[in-house]
Structure 1
Amino acid sequence: MERKRLPDYLKRGIIDTEKTKLVRSILKHKCLNTVCEAARCPNKAECYAKNTATFLIMGNICTRNCRFCNISGGTPQSIDPQEPLKVAQAIKELNLEYAVITSVTRDDLPLQGADCFRNVILETKKLCPSIKIEVLTPDFEGIHDLIDIVADANPDVFNHNIETVRRLYPKARPLAKYHRSLDFLNHIKEKYPNMKTKSGLMVGLGETFDELKQTFFDLDAVGCDIVTVGQYMQPTKHHLPVEKYYTDKDFENVKQLAKQAGIKQIVASGLVRSSYRAFETYNDTNY
C-alpha cells in the first residue's frame, strides 16, 4: 500500500535553538535519552523554551513490538544504576520546572522497571524539591503492586496511554489489552484519589468518531483527568499505514466528543503528543 502523503498543515521544521543545543550537550555528557531527541519531535524547541522535557529511561530497546511505534525492539540494555542521579542532575542543570519521565517497556526485568521509575522520582525530588514530575509508564502487565511502587513515590501526574480504541488493539497493540489499561488508570484513582491521571491516544488508524467517543466515556469512567489526542504518523513502511489525516475541524469534533463524555482537560490537534504542553495542562487541572 502506498503511504499517504503528510499534509502541509502537519509539517513543522525542527528549530535548533540555543536551549536545544544545551539539552543535547547535557544529555550526551550524561549518556541519557529523551523522547524529544530520539523521535525528533517537532515540538521540542517549544517545550524546552518552557522548561519542560521528557526523559526516556531504561534504555531505548523495547521488549514489545507495537505496530505504530518507532522505538526499536530486541534485547534491551542492562540498567544503569546511576541513571536516577544522572536524570536528576540533568533536570537541575537545565533548570526544568516540569519533567516527564517515560520508558520503553521492560517485561524482562523482575519489577518491569517500576523500581526504576520510583528511584528517578525520589532522586529528582531530593535534588530539585520544587520540580513537578509526570510519569508515562508501560502497563506493567496490569500488576497493581508494580503500579503502586511508582505511585508511592508520589509523582504529580501519572500517565498511562490507552493509545487507540478497543477494536484496533489486536492490530495495533497485540501484546497489550484495552481493559488492562483502563483498570490501570482506575486502580490509581481508587487508591490515590488526589493523584492526577492522564492518558493519550492516536487518531488516523481507522477508528470512528463513535469509537473515540466510547473511549472517552471509558476514560472518564475511571476518573482520568487529562486526555491528549494527536495524529498518528507512519514512521516507516513497515509500520501500520495511516488511514486518515485529521483536519483542524476533525480535531475540534474530537474535543467536543471528549467534553461531552465528561473529560475535564482535553488537548487535541495534529502535532499533539503525550507530553505536549504538559505543564500548562497540569496547572489547568488545579481548579
Structure 2
Amino acid sequence: MPVFPPMYLALSGSASALADSFAPAQVSGALFALIGLYLLLMLSGVGIDLVVITRALARPLAWDRCVAWVKDRPWNWRVAGWVALILMCIQLVVVGVCRTLSVLGWLRKDEPESFYALIQGLVLHVACLVILAFILRAKAWTWGQAFGLQAQGLVRRLGEGMAFYAGILPLFFFAAVLSRLVMLIIGYPVTIQDVVLIFIEPQSLWTLLALLGLGLIIAPAAEEILFRGILLPLLMKRLGAGPAVILSSALFALIHLHVPSFFPLFVLATGLALAYIYTGSLWVPIMMHAVFNGMNLAILLLATT
C-alpha cells in the first residue's frame, strides 16, 4: 500500500500478472518516476489554483451563465428514478446469481474476490451506459444535449480535464492528510478500503486487463454520467447550484462506505462538479476521473509489487 492518500478507484486490478516482466530495480525506478510525476502534477496544480484565484479576483467568473449550461439539461426526476430502480434491480440479480452459482458449485471457490467484483462491476456499469443510450434514443436527445458530450473540441476538453485534475490534486492531498490526522486524533481505525484489497490479489492477464478497462474507461464514464451528468442538474433545478454541488458530492463520497476517505472524496467530487459546471462538458470530469484512477492505480500496483 503506498503512502499516498486514500484512493478513489472505481474498480481495477493488481499488477501481479504484469509484475513478472519487471526486475525489482526496474519496478523501483518506475515507481520513483511515477511518484515524481505525481509531485510535479501537484506543484503544477498549485500554480493553476493561484492563477485561477488571481483571475477570479480581478475579473469575476460568469458563474450564472455556467450554471445555466448545466441546469438546462433535459433530465427530470421521473427518468432518473427509473434509471436508479433498474440499476438496483440489475445489481441485486447479478449478486444473487453469483451467490447461487457459488453455492451450487458451478463457480470455482478458489477464484479471487476480484473475479466476482469484475463481473458485478462490468455488468452494472455497462448496463448503465446501455440504459442511458436507450433513453437518449427514445427521447430523441443527443449526447451533447444531455451531457455536453460533443465530438467537436474533444481534444481541448480532454486537455482541460488534465488541467482541472492537476488543480484539484493539491486540495485532495491536503484533505486526505487532514482526514488521516483527524482519524488518528479521535482513535478511529484507518483501514485499507476493500476495493483496494482486490487489486493486490493474483490475477490472470485477461482479468487484469478487464479490471483496468473497467477502472480507467467504463467506470469513469458511467459514474460521471450518473452523478455529474444526471444527479447534479436535477439538484441544481431544485436547490440551486451551491447546495447541489455539496449534496451530490457528499452522496458520491458516502457510497464508498469508507469513513477515512469521506472528506478527500468529497473534495474530489466537488472539483469534478465545478469542472462540469464551468466547462459545460462532461468530457472534463470524465477525463479527471480516469486520470485520477490511473495515477493512483499505477502507484498502488508498482508499490505492491
Same fold (TM over 0.5): no
> For the superposition of Structure 1 and Structure 2, which TM-score range results when normalised by the shorter chain?
under 0.3
| Larger helix share, 1 or 2 | 2
| Larger strand share, 1 or 2 | 1
What is the TM-score normalised by the length of structure 2?
0.23
* TM-score, normalised with respect to structure 1: 0.24
